[in-house]
Structure 1
Amino acid sequence: MQDSFTIGIEEEYLLVDRDSFALAAAPDALMTSCKTALQDQVSPEFMQCQIEVGTKVCTNVAEARSDLGHLRRTIATEAAKHNLAPIAVSCHPFTDYKQQVHTDKDRYAQLEKELEGVARRMLISGMHVHVGIADNPSRIDLMPQLAYFLPHLLALSTSSPFWQGEDTGLASYRLSVFDNMPRTGLPPVFASWGEYERTTGTLIDLGVIQDTTQIWWDLRPSDHYPTLESRICDVQPRMEHALALAGLTQSLVRMLLRLRDNNLRWRAYDAFLISENRWRAQRYGVTEGLIDFGERAIRPFNVMLDELIALLAEDAEALGCLDEIATLRDVVANGTSSTRQRAVRAADGPEAVVRHLIEEFHADL
């Protein structure tokens, strides 16, 4: 294989007041100090109470652990100087989105103008994983194959059961909010890179979008880097879980290219069927099974994960992340963040959930 399968991880954090546990806007001084320390690895997000970080290009999960740990520690240290704390969760447990305002940037003002109420509800945070693939045709060829596994990644990552103080009954309410945006959901299937460019270029030529960064599919070719960018995951309160999901994504890409090198490929299924698994992951996380379309049966998630890890063992071993993806068995056994948050709230109330999320952010640092 010629590809090195480099990875990059982007995370969006919410900032909370350490006393009230409510969301708080990032002061200019905080953004300035973070920029000084992290340069272009940090940026404001759509809402003033959000902050985004991105690792450098990493060759493996070990490098990503070092860089992401540095990013998380720096944000936590600088935020504490303002009596704030970051939490890596996709929806705040009790804050009303209508009380928040977007960051004062032309791009965000234009987004709110175009999308109105849809944009104003975007009080959500996600995790994006980039995997390096050298050539554009390979990115397009792999995209529909990798899309089959997006529900698996979503189920393992779910961290947003609450919205405006209410339990939504979903493991990932973030996706319900995000799916109101245009150009979201599972990616279309393209026959070639040229077809992808012609299709997306139509919207660019008409002035509907500026570039392909305004296409927000669950999986897309990156506009800036030679990568496939998975955007399906809820952000992870614990860094080790984020790294495990990044390693799983990286291993999936390597496995699919390994199949191609042997003149094989993952079977294609209609988006209608994959969307059903996407919904099951969004609704239940890992507590119910996903549909195994080959077996034509709903199978327990722990069984599917064991089979997936076995399938990827050769690739994870080569990439040095087999131990990391094996920890996802603990996520299935003990619950995703959504399960943990619900347990804390049932025992001690909504403010305790934020305290728990602060503790989890610092747990692996």
Structure 2
Amino acid sequence: MQSDFTLGIEEEYLLVDRDSLRLAEAPETLMTACKNDLGDQVSPEFLQCQIEVGTRVCATIAEAREDLRRLRAVVSKRAAEHGLAPIAVSCHPSADWKDQSHTRKQRYDSLQHDLGGVARRMLICGMHVHVGIEDPSLRTDLMPQMCYFLPHLLALSTSSPFWQGEDTGLASYRLTVFDNLPRTGLPPAFSSWAEYERTTGALIELGVIEDTSKIWWDLRPSHAFPTLETRIMDVSPRLEHALSLAALTQAIIRMLMRLRERNLRWREYDRFLIDENRWRAQRYGVGEGLIDFGERRIKPMLQLTDELTGLLAEDAEALGTMEEIAALRPMVEQGTSATRQRRVFAEAKAKGEDPGQAVVRHLIEEFHADL
């Protein structure tokens, strides 16, 4: 094949006070200690209560596991020295965005200026998965095909049912916040890399954006790396769930390349239809299924996952990710983080305990479960 499908995983975490379980700003000494340990693999995020990590370029999922586990462990250790704990969740169950401050950095100062109040509400975290595709023309060729599977990735990753102490009724409330930004959502279909460069270049030439890092589609060619980058997923509290989702992303892209080499391709559906599945994933997670547009019916997520696992068997075997792909089924059976958070919330409320605090304690436990 024309690609070795290298992996890179970026995760954003929230920092909470271990005693009050409320969001806490990262002190300068914490960021310095993390930087000393991890170099450019760690960075501040838009809000001061956030921290971002990114793996090295990994040849295999085993390498990604080792690196991501190390990143999570170091952040946890350094945070504990300041009485803090990281949680890998897309929305804090009870925090108010109006109480947060953005990180004083030129990039984030510019974002605050350009986006106004929309930026201030960005109390959300996500997971981005990069898959190496060296040829730019292949990236634009694969993008519209890969879009079909973005709702599946979102459904399996959902971890943000709560916002400001209320159950939103959505499995991924994060996406409703993120979609308020410009240049988000499903990407347009481009006929070539040249068309992609002409289209995005128009905004750059006009000074609207300085580069394509300010384009935040659910799937995009990375600005910094020769990769396709999926950005639709909520961040996963558990390390092993994050790795299964990364393995799924990698295997889908390999499958699409495999079809291409056989003069085949995945059918491209209208963005209107894929958006409907995106909404279903955002609203229900794995609870109500997605539309199979080929069969023209809604299928339960368990059936879709089984079908996808079968479709990707050759790719998972080639990539050495059979175990991670097989783990998707129990993730659907047991429910995503959104399901687990709601369960903890209900149990705490029934006992007369603070349900928001119970959810945060649960998220701290899940973060450390696989370290």
For Structure 1 versus Structure 2, the TM-score category normalised by the shorter chain is over 0.9
Q: CA deviation at 1:350?
A: 1.1
Normalised by the size of structure 1, how large is the TM-score? 1.00
Q: Distance in 1 between matches of 2:250 and 2:203?
A: 30
**Alpha-carbon RMSD:** 0.4
- Corresponding residue for 1:252? 252
1:230 correspondence with 2:230: yes
Q: CA deviation at 1:190?
A: 0.4
Please give the per-residue CA displacement for 1:5-35, whole angstroms capped at 9, x wherever unaligned: 0000000000000001000000000000000
Q: Distance in 2 between matches of 1:168 and 1:323?
A: 34
- Corresponding residue for 1:193? 193
Q: CA deviation at 1:84?
A: 0.1
Amino acid at match of 1:152: H
Q: Distance in 1 between matches of 2:133 and 2:27?
A: 38
SS in 2 for 1:225: coil
Amino acid at match of 2:192: S
Q: Distance in 2 between matches of 1:110 and 1:38?
A: 26
Q: Distance in 2 between matches of 1:314 and 1:270?
A: 28
- Corresponding residue for 2:114? 114
Amino acid at match of 1:182: P
Q: How does 1:66-105 map to 2 (within 5 A)?
A: 66-105=66-105
SS in 2 for 1:291: strand
Q: Distance in 1 between matches of 2:110 and 2:228?
A: 27
Q: Distance in 2 between matches of 1:3 and 1:111?
A: 35
Q: Distance in 2 between matches of 1:337 and 1:60?
A: 25
Q: CA deviation at 1:117?
A: 0.8
- Corresponding residue for 1:342? 342
Gaps of 5+ in 2: 349-354
Q: Distance in 2 between matches of 1:359 and 1:301?
A: 27
Gaps of 5+ in 1: none
Amino acid at match of 1:331: M
Q: CA deviation at 1:301?
A: 0.7
- Corresponding residue for 2:367? 361
Please give the per-residue CA displacement for 1:21-54, whole angstroms capped at 9, x wherever unaligned: 0000000000000000000000000000000000
Q: CA deviation at 1:134?
A: 1.3
SS in 1 for 2:128: strand
Q: CA deviation at 1:113?
A: 1.0
Please give the per-residue CA displacement for 1:126-145, whole angstroms capped at 9, x wherever unaligned: 00000000100000000000
Runs of 4+ in 1 over 2 A off after TM superposition: none
- Corresponding residue for 2:298? 298
Q: Distance in 1 between matches of 2:138 and 2:2?
A: 12
Q: How does 1:1-365 map to 2 (within 5 A)?
A: 1-348=1-348, 349-365=355-371
Please give the per-residue CA displacement for 1:107-160, whole angstroms capped at 9, x wherever unaligned: 111111111110000000000000000100000000000010000000000000
Normalised by the size of structure 2, how large is the TM-score? 0.98
Please give the per-residue CA displacement for 1:279-310, whole angstroms capped at 9, x wherever unaligned: 00000000011000000000111001000000
Q: Distance in 1 between matches of 2:40 and 2:290?
A: 39
Amino acid at match of 1:228: L
Q: Distance in 1 between matches of 2:322 and 2:172?
A: 26
Amino acid at match of 2:163: W
Q: CA deviation at 1:199?
A: 0.3
Q: Distance in 1 between matches of 2:134 and 2:262?
A: 18
Q: Distance in 2 between matches of 1:63 and 1:300?
A: 33
